Amino acid sequence: MINTKLSVAIHILTLIATNPHDPVTSESIAKSVNTNPVVIRRLSGQLKQAGLISSQAGKPGFTLLKAPGQITILTVYQALQTKGDLFLIHPDPNPNCWVGKNIQSVLETTYKRAQDALEQELAQQTLANIIKQLTSH
């Protein structure tokens, strides 16, 4: 299961993108997300490292570094990803068993296809897309 970090990250980027003038601080974002400002700053740190936003200690607010149409949800997803695998495989099946010995590598292939399909779809959707849907609400 994919945790709420992606949702919060998209929430953060949306607020920054739709408020290019007044500074959107971790404090104000936290109020909108309804969480602690540190949670926001931890995520903004990852988004910053991925080159999606910029910020400076002491200076309030964040700046979007790419156009919303250029930021795909896959990019955001990958910015938060530590280990790339969506599916977990049981770690030590019995190597003396015919199935146990080979199941892991077969599952890897199976899972890779599924994950590719997921990521391909996430690559189709952009921040601009999200914002557009939000405005039509």
- Which chain residues interact with DNA by CB under 7 A? 1, 3-5, 23, 25-27, 35-39, 41-42, 44-45, 48, 55-62, 88, 90
CA atoms within 13 A on the CB side of 62: 30
How near is the Cβ of 10 to DNA at its closest, in Å? 13
CA distance 122 to 76: 9
Shorter beta-carbon distance to DNA: residue 55 or 72: 55
Shorter beta-carbon distance to its own copies: residue 16 or 52: 16
Q: Which two tokens stand for residue 2?
A: 């994919």
Binders in 20-79 for its own copies, by CB under 8 A: 31-35, 73
109 binds its own copies (CB under 8 A): yes
106 binds its own copies (CB under 8 A): yes
Q: Per DSSP, what are the bridge partners of residue 22?
A: none
Q: Which two tokens stand for residue 72?
A: 């795909």
Shorter beta-carbon distance to DNA: residue 28 or 129: 28
C-beta atoms surrounding 4 within 10 Å: 11
- The contacts of residue 75 (CB under 8 Å, 6+ apart) are 50, 52
Using CB under 8 A, count the residues that bind its own copies: 56
